[in-house]
Amino acid sequence: MTDTRKPVESLLTDYDIFEPSFIANPYPGYSEIRESECPIAHTDRYQGSWLPTRYEDVVALAQEYEVFTSRGILVMPPPPGQAEGAYGGVAAPPITSDPPDHHWHRRLILPVFAPQAVAKYEQGTKDLCNALIDEFIDKGTADAAADYAQHIPVRVISTMLGVPFDMEEEFTDWVRGVLENMHDLERRKRSRQSIIEFFLAQVEDRKKNPRDNDLITELLNTEVEGKKVPIEYVLGVCNLMLVAGIDTTWSAIGSVMWHMAQHPEHRKQLRENDDLWPTAIEELLRVYAPVTMARIVDRDIEFQGCPMKAGDRVLMAFPAANRDPRQFENPDEVILDREHNRHVAFGSGIHRCAGSNLARLEVRIALQTWLERIPEFELVDPASVTWAGGQVHGPRSCMVKF
């Protein structure tokens, strides 16, 4: 693809989150904006948006959900003719919901993701990681992103939704169509349509053949105030599980693998100290936070001196917040036993990631299983690593040798 984009004049007034060097490494750009006289940048690109970069501002915006609404959460507006956040009336509750509905939309799925509830996926995730490693361990080389990270969350989600593993390729393609390649409007539309049609068929199947211990069956039977939940809600949750649970977690695992390939001292620290794991995972999630969300401004408001207008888009740059030196000492450094880590990789406030306990489990098991089998490894060529960015940041190809 030839790049016809117009060069960025100033990050403060013309940033481009889909510019290739920004995709590969957005941190210097975030830092330049954060330390400028205007830490909330603006661009006219992609129909315009604001980009706050300081921790304090990002968290404050996340708490003000009445002004900064979730009716649009994508960093780039949807194709013409497609409603914001929805396809044929199907959204992605609770991420696209605002109060008051947000409360029950979220409440219904929380039990599925509580720490006790996700613990049952630990062994399955481990088996799955081992099976992936079996495929390449004798070769002495592997793509830690495409051969490993990419396959883990999609299979875990397929298990949760009770759909066959052989949908893996389609799921991956659809999710990338919706998130990573959102500037390709045709592909985005097609991907959304495929997701909804697929789950519509699943729902029809469960109505005829209800299953035990099955999320879709349970959702269909859930009642709120004496009434069965609408079918759009069930479809929306399935849609959300794909778009929120796959690309995000795979990007986090990929970045962690990329980091570990370059840091033998961190591999050693983890090998020698089991107690370090929980804080280490939080620290890696802080530094490599993959997800940026958006908000739509509800009414004209001045926020930190910025004149925001109703309908404006604000990017919730959690990755930028996580590297603010006002909040984190030596923010660009990975300190596996960091004492104070109020990171917001999973967001903040009412929309804060509902799947975080599952995500943490997957990242930990992926790294632990790899390190048990392949304790020493390195990048084949740092320059050949490729990245996705914009809404979700992580490596898409990351060749390592061992």
Partner 1 sequence: MGSCHGHQMCAIAAPEVFGSDELGNATVLIAGDIPAELEGKARRAEANCPERAIIISE
- Binding residues for ligand HEM, rule: CB under 6 A, are 62, 70, 73, 94-95, 106, 157, 240-241, 244-245, 248-249, 252, 290-291, 293, 316, 318, 345-347, 351-355, 358-359
Residue 89 contacts which entry, partner 1, ligand HEM, none (Cβ below 5-8 A, type-dependent): none
Asked whether 172 and 180 are in contact (CB, 8 A), the reply is: no
Residue among 96, 348, 369, 391 that touches partner 1 (CB under 8 A): 348
- The interface region with partner 1, picked from 114-122, 163-171, 245-253, 260-268 by CB under 8 A, is 114-122
Shortest distance in whole angstroms from residue 97 CB to ligand HEM: 7
Contacts with 381 (C-beta within 8 Å, 6 or more apart), sequence order: 399
CA 341 from centre of chain: 19
Residue 107 sits at the vertex; the CA angle it makes with 106 and 113, to the nearest 5 degrees, is 80
Element (H, E) at 283: helix 277-287
CA–CA dist 212, 217 (Å, integer)? 8
Residue among 31, 193, 341, 397 that touches partner 1 (CB under 8 A): 341
120 binds partner 1 (CB under 8 A): no
Shortest distance in whole angstroms from residue 340 CB to partner 1: 5
In 236-298, DSSP assigns E strands to 293-297
What per-residue string of b and e applies to 65-102 under the rule 16 or more CB within 10 Å gives b? bebbbbebbbbbbbeeebeebbbeebbbbbbbbbeeeb
Shortest distance in whole angstroms from residue 253 CB to partner 1: 19
Cis previous bond, 39, omega within 30: no
350 binds partner 1 (CB under 8 A): yes
Provide the mask over 53-92, with x wherever binding to partner 1 is found by CB under 8 A and - wherever it is not: ------x---------------------------------
Question: What are the beta bridge partners of residue 223?
Answer: 228
CA–CA dist 102, 349 (Å, integer)? 12
Residue 110 contacts which entry, ligand HEM, partner 1, none (Cβ below 5-8 A, type-dependent): partner 1
DSSP string for residues in 71-85: S--SSSPPPTTS-TT
Residue among 352, 373, 378, 384 that touches partner 1 (CB under 8 A): 352
Shortest distance in whole angstroms from residue 177 CB to ligand HEM: 18
Of 107 and 228, which has the nearer Cβ to partner 1? 107
Number of residues that bind partner 1 (CB under 8 A): 26
CA–CA dist 140, 146 (Å, integer)? 16
Helix (H, G, I), strand (E, B) or coil at 193: helix
Residue 94 contacts which entry, ligand HEM, partner 1, none (Cβ below 5-8 A, type-dependent): ligand HEM
Shortest distance in whole angstroms from residue 360 CB to partner 1: 8
Tokens of 27: 């941190």
107 binds partner 1 (CB under 8 A): yes
139 binds partner 1 (CB under 8 A): no
Of 176 and 364, which has the nearer Cβ to partner 1? 364
Return residues touching partner 1 (CB under 8 A).
Answer: 59, 107, 110-111, 113-117, 278-279, 282, 339-344, 346, 348-350, 352, 354, 356-357
